[in-house]
Amino acid sequence: MSNITFTILKPDSIRNGNTGAILDKIVKSGFKIKAMKFTKMTDEKASSFYSIHSERPFFKDLVGYMTSGPIVAAILEKENAVNDFRELIGSTNPEEAKEGTIRNMFAKSISENAIHGSDSDENAKIECEFHFSPDEIFN
C-alpha cells in the first residue's frame, strides 16, 4: 500500500473562497503537503486527466467545468492516503456525502463537487506524475 494521494481543489472551490478552509481541513486531518500548485488546466489536459470518462454523457460539461477557472493541485502524504482521503472528501454526490466531509461542507452538486481524490494507489501515482515533475515534490 502506498502512502501518497493526489488532489485537485476544483474551480468552484477557488471561486467560492473555500481554498483556505479546505486546505486547513486536509492538513488538520493529518495529510502532509508534498507538492502544490495554483494553476489552470487546458482543454487538452483536463480531457486527458478524465479520459476514463470520455464516453460518459457528462464528459463535455466536466471538461468545461474543470477548465472554467484556476485550481489547486497537490500531492498529499499519509498512511493509507488514498482510502483515508476518499473518506475525508465523501461521496461524489454531495447529497450522499457524510456530515463533516469536504463535499458535504463545500460541494453544490454531483458535477461541481469541490474536490478530486485519487481512487487507487496506481492512479495516485499516474496523477501525481501527470501534474508534477520530480523537482516540484518535497519531503
What's the grid cell of residue 136? 516540484
Q: 17: phi > 0 → left, psi -120 to 50 → alpha, else beta; which? A: left
Cα dihedral sign for 37, 24, 3, 34?
A: positive
Q: Shortest gap between Cβ of 135 and ligand UDP (angstroms)?
A: 28
CB-CB contact of 31 with 78 (8 Å)? yes
**C-alpha cell at position 2:** 502506498
Partner that binds at residue 18, options Mg ion, ligand UDP, none, CB closer than 5 to 8 Å by kind? none
Binding part of the chain for Mg ion, among 12-20, 35-43, 66-74, 111-119 by CB under 5 A, reads 111-119
CB of 107 to ligand UDP, least distance (A): 9
Q: From the CB of 28, what's the least distance to ligand UDP, in Å?
A: 22
Q: Which of 78, 103, 116, 131 is catalytic?
A: 116
Tell me, yes or no, if 131 is annotated catalytic. no
Q: Show which residues are catalytic.
A: 116
